[in-house]
Each structure stands twice: as C-alpha cells, then as structure tokens.
Amino acid sequence: MAHREPLAWFKSSYSGTEGGDCVEVAAGAGTVYVRDSKVTAGPVLHLSHDAWTGFVGLATAK
C-alpha cells in the first residue's frame, strides 16, 4: 500500500557519517513510516503511532 501524503524523512541520529546500517522515519497522519536509508525506493514499514511509541519504548528501556 503506497502512502498518498508527502513525507519528510529523517535519518536515525545513531547513523554515522560512514554509511552502514541506517533507517529513516517519517510521520504521517496516523502512521509512522520506516525504511532503509540505503534503499529509499524499497519497501516501507507502516506502523500506527501507538505501535511506534511501544517499539521505541522497548528499544530504549534499560
């Protein structure tokens, strides 16, 4: 399913200047989009805002 709204993509703050494994995230109306920054025309993961918040909370838990 393609998104219809223009998206402003942001690269992870953990992405280094030497390339490597990076993701980009864009927030849309009711959806957060995630893609591989090296393959911007590739697949895009679509998550609800609640699912994204849960993922980030688990990923940053200590």
Model confidence over 35-60: pLDDT tens digits? Answer: 988 888 999 999 999 999 999 899 88
Binning pLDDT at 50, 70 and 90, where does residue 13 land? confident
Residues 25/18, Cβ–Cβ less than 8 Å: no
The separation between CA 19 and the C-alpha centre of its own chain, rounded to angstroms, equals: 16
Q: What is the pTM of this model?
A: 0.77
Binning pLDDT at 50, 70 and 90, where does residue 16 land? low
- Report the pLDDT value the prediction gives residue 4, as an integer from 0 to 100: 66
26 φ, ψ (degrees, to nearest 5) = -135, 140
The structure tokens 């402003």 sit at: 8
* CA nearest neighbour of 33 among 51, 15, 60, 54: 51
Mean of pLDDT over the chain = 85
Collapsed DSSP state (helix, strand, coil) of residue 46 = strand
Rounded percentage of the chain residues whose pLDDT exceeds 70:
82
CA distance from start to end of the chain: 35
